Structure formats: structure tokens, C-alpha cells
Amino acid sequence: MDNNGLKNMKYLKNKNLLEELKIYINEGVQTEELGNMLLLLAKRYSDRPSFSGYTYKDDMICEAVLTCLKYMHNFDVDVEYPNPFAYFSKIIHNSFLNYISKQKKHSEIKDICYKNMDIIYPDSNYDDDFDNFKVCSINYQLIQGNKKKKKRKKKKKNK
């Protein structure tokens, strides 16, 4: 496939992706076209309604492409009906979910830090007075304690 056709491509064909994967497996070289195909797949997958509203969508796409490249060697092209599109779509989906969960953890840490600003800066103006600054560390046990674990109720068996 030539570069002009790839740049103007708005969708990805399973056959083209399989051809590029066979080149990778036979020669051991990841082509530019294969990288562009994975990038196109990740970009289109990020437009789904469940992932479209995040502000860090570009970071999610980059992480998903890196994850695809990391697990590309596990794909078996010798099966009866190889489907690389489904394989990489699942990798991208799981990568997005993993990145979102990491961002939620970072967000919780930032929230705890903002809530504890009065402890760090007691009786001082935040803008110009740093003399009263106290060195504090984040207590990760507080973060763990804030998460409520859901308990499953056991159903009673009728005998």
C-alpha cells in the first residue's frame, strides 16, 4: 500500500492489516504503514462515545499504540481465520480502560492534596508567605481508606 493511500484512508481493512503483520513476522521489521494503521485504529476507537469525552484522549491513543506494538508478536497469523482487527481493537480497549483507571488514581491523590492545603499552609496567605510552609508527605493509607469496598450480599437458598 502506498503512503498517499494510507494518509487518505478513513477506515482500515482487515486484509491490509494482516499483510503488514505477515511482513513484520517474516522480516522482523515494523513498517511505517503498520504504525500508521495502528494509529488510525486507536484514533477511530477513541471516537467511540465511551471514550470521547476525556481531556487526555491523545495520551490514551499514544498509550494504546505502544501497547499494540508491545503485544504485536503474540498474534498468530497461521490460524484458519486470523482477525488482527479484533485482536488490536481489544488491546486498544483494554489499554484505554487501564489508562483511565491510572488517571483516576492520580486524580484522587490531587484531590486529597487540595483538601489538605490548610494543614500544609496553616494561617498563611497562599500567594506570598512561604515561611510557614511545612514539609508533609502523602499518606497513601488515607487514599486506600477513602475507597469504600462493596460487599456482596449472599442470597439465601430456599430449602
Q: Looking at residue 39, what is its pLDDT?
A: 95
- For residues 25 and 86, give the distance between their C-alpha atoms in angstroms, rounded to a whole number: 18
User: What fold, for 3-104?
Assistant: Rna Polymerase Sigma Factor; Chain: A (1.10.1740)
Q: Looking at residue 1, what is its pLDDT?
A: 45
Write the CB contacts of 63 (distance below 8 Å, at least 6 apart in sequence). 95, 98, 99
For the chain, the structural domain boundaries read 3-104
- For residues 122 and 109, give the distance between their C-alpha atoms in angstroms, rounded to a whole number: 20
pLDDT tens digit at each of 159 positions of the chain: 444 445 566 788 999 999 999 999 999 889 999 999 999 999 999 999 999 889 999 999 999 999 999 999 999 988 999 999 999 999 999 999 999 999 999 888 888 877 776 555 555 555 555 555 555 555 566 555 555 555 566 666 665
- For residues 64 and 69, give the distance between their C-alpha atoms in angstroms, rounded to a whole number: 9
The type of residue at 76 is D
- Phi, psi for residue 115 in degrees, rounded to 5: -70, -30
The pTM assigned to this predicted structure is 0.70
Residue 109: alpha-carbon gap to chain centroid: 19
Whether 134 and 122 have beta carbons less than 8 Å apart is answered as: yes
Residue spans of alpha helices (H) in 73-150: 84-115, 117-120, 140-146
